[in-house]
Structure 1
Amino acid sequence: MGRPLPYGVPGVERQAEGVVRAPAETVAEAQALLDAGKPFHAHEVFEDAWKSGPEAERALWRGLAQLAVGLTHAARGNVTGGARLLRRGAGAVEEWSSGSGVRRPYGMDLDGLAAWARELAGRVEKDEKDSGTVGAGAEAPRLRGTGPYRE
């Protein structure tokens, strides 16, 4: 699922950082990484957009990065951190959408993403006694989907 891992443990290489992409490329690359079970890498793609994009969109990309890293934590069994970041990201994308008046930027379903994140956060917390972990690829959201879940 990406870094951070304990020192000396082999793992998947990090996503290249500081890459400037068009918004459509950001969404497509992040979706491919989410589908591949690499939400931490998707987080880095969103982080690049947050840091290099227009000021008016930074909160959007930051919220999406929070959703992806929340999924990372949930998949690693960090129930508290995962649920907290999923809810924080859901609030951030909703706040950006209401403040900007844009409901589907770059075709993304922000309402569906917020609903997905809150549902997953609740489920992870509820299932904590069983394991608290989720499959990152199986739980990946559809960024441009018509609903909050993978189709």
Structure 2
Amino acid sequence: MTNVGASDARDRDAVGRARNARPRDGLGRPLPYGAEGVPRQPEGVLRAPEETVGEAQALLAAGRPFHAHEVFEDAWKSGPPEERPLWRGLAQLAVGLTHAARGNAVGGARLLRRGAGAVGEWAVTRGEDRPYGLDLPGLARWARELAGRVERGCAPVDARAEAPRLGP
């Protein structure tokens, strides 16, 4: 990343798109320039669905739901159109956990419920509870239960301790 001159102080990538180059913590919050952050997920990576699930699970288990959301977002944006609602719902679950861990109870609960609805609806409309080894009914239950606890004042939550198992 480069930071162009005084006329446009925004960070930009090699092709000129605005990209924040500040380091980030494990929950994706920007840190001051020069601080040591966690490695960022590269954007736009094409992965097989099983790779997406495996990488996202490892990030969730490490307490990095923001980064897991970015992995799901890649699948959502690059996957077949009929699967995009599934990957978008999974990204919403991960970012809902991110907000709950940051202490944003309202946003966290809202995204957890939205993601639970999306993965639950995908399972019902497709007649498939376990695509790519994902436990969609279990994830929907986990998200609704966590949303309820967050709304009752349990935010912030420990992202690592609350991370879901994506599959059996």
Please report the TM-score for the alignment, with normalisation by the length of structure 1.
Answer: 0.89
Matched, 1:136 2:159: yes
Aligned ranges 1:93-112 → 2 under 5 Å? 93-112=119-138
Q: Which residue does 2:28 correspond to in 1?
A: 3
Aligned-partner Cα distance in 1 for 2:147–2:34: 28
Q: Which residue does 1:148 correspond to in 2?
A: none
Aligned-partner Cα distance in 1 for 2:113–2:34: 30
Q: Which residue does 2:144 correspond to in 1?
A: 118
Q: Which residue does 1:81 correspond to in 2?
A: 107
Aligned-partner Cα distance in 2 for 1:125–1:71: 13
Deviation at 1:70, TM superposition (A): 0.3
2:44 partner letter: G
Aligned-partner Cα distance in 2 for 1:36–1:102: 28
Deviations 1:96-116 (Å, cap 9, x if unpaired)? Answer: 111111111011100000000
Large movers: runs of 4+ above 4 Å: none
Deviations 1:17-36 (Å, cap 9, x if unpaired)? Answer: 10000000000000000000
SS of the residue corresponding to residue 138 of structure 1 reads helix
- How many residue pairs match? The answer is 142
Matched, 1:32 2:55: no
Aligned-partner Cα distance in 2 for 1:60–1:123: 24
Percent identity reads 71
Please report the TM-score for the alignment, with normalisation by the length of structure 2.
Answer: 0.81
Report the CA distance shift for 1:95/1:20 in structure 2 as closer, same or farther (over 3 A): same
Q: Bigger CA drift: 75-84 or 96-105?
A: 96-105
1:5 partner letter: P
- Structure possessing the higher radius of gyration over alpha carbons: 2
Aligned-partner Cα distance in 2 for 1:71–1:2: 9
Aligned-partner Cα distance in 2 for 1:143–1:80: 24
Q: Which residue does 2:117 correspond to in 1?
A: 91
Alignment check: 8 A CA contact 2:93 2:115 kept:
yes
Question: What's the RMSD between the two structures over aligned residues?
Answer: 1.3
Alignment check: 8 A CA contact 2:105 2:153 kept:
no
1:3 partner letter: G
Alignment check: 8 A CA contact 1:2 1:14 kept:
no
Aligned-partner Cα distance in 2 for 1:7–1:119: 35
Structure 1 gaps of 5+ residues are 146-151
Aligned-partner Cα distance in 1 for 2:166–2:131: 10
